[in-house]
Amino acid sequence: MIRPIAFISALLLASPVFATGDIDIRADQVLTDTVQEVNFRIAVEDCTQLADISVSGLSLSLADAIRSTEGNSCEFAVLLDSSYANSPSVTATDISGEHYYHSEFFSVEFTNPTISFNGVSVTGSSQDQYLQFSGTANGDVDIPKN
């Protein structure tokens, strides 16, 4: 008979340490087509299982991780050459030796986004009423055209 605690421990040890959603890349500054270097933040959901990490070929020191005061997450501040600004990539290795790869694509926004509110209305029945806002957003990067 397998004891419940041993079974749960075995399940936890057998589960993957990272998943694609466990690593996030964020630009720490506005991207332009003239910038020479770009500051990024690399967020890792569970740093307790992290053995090694690199960003676009640049090896990071685990000692430089900015640890969260809540949970096991951490962040790394990274300065990358502009040649990596559009598509930085992260390679992480967990303590079991598994390698994980994550990349994101960034683009320069040439037109400032706009938003306008068209109206507010109350919809629904006398029992279920909802406040409905309508608006329009435009931009050339983060806002879909449809």
| pLDDT reported for residue 4 | 42
Structure tokens at 17: 């340490």
Residues 91 and 25 in one domain: yes
Q: Are 49 and 95 in contact (CB under 8 A)?
A: yes
Last residue of a domain, one of 103, 123, 138: 103
Under DSSP, is residue 49 helix (H, G, I), strand (E, B) or coil?
Answer: helix
| pLDDT reported for residue 97 | 92
Structure tokens at 62: 């685990």
| pLDDT reported for residue 13 | 43
Residues 90 and 144 in one domain: no
Dump strand ranges (E) for 2-104. Answer: 23-27, 37-44, 50-55, 58-60, 66-67, 74-81, 89-94, 99-103
Structural domain boundaries enclosing 92: 18-103
In the chain, DSSP finds a helix count (H) and a strand count (E) of: 1, 10
Question: pLDDT tens digits for the chain (146 residues)?
Answer: 444 444 343 444 444 445 444 899 998 888 888 888 999 999 999 898 899 999 999 999 999 999 988 888 999 999 998 888 889 999 999 999 999 999 998 888 787 888 899 999 998 888 888 899 899 888 776 665 55
Residues 140 and 96 in one domain: no
| pLDDT reported for residue 84 | 85
| pLDDT reported for residue 144 | 58
Q: Are 101 and 58 in contact (CB under 8 A)?
A: no
* Residue 122 maps to a domain: yes
| pLDDT reported for residue 77 | 94
DSSP 57: T
| pLDDT reported for residue 143 | 63
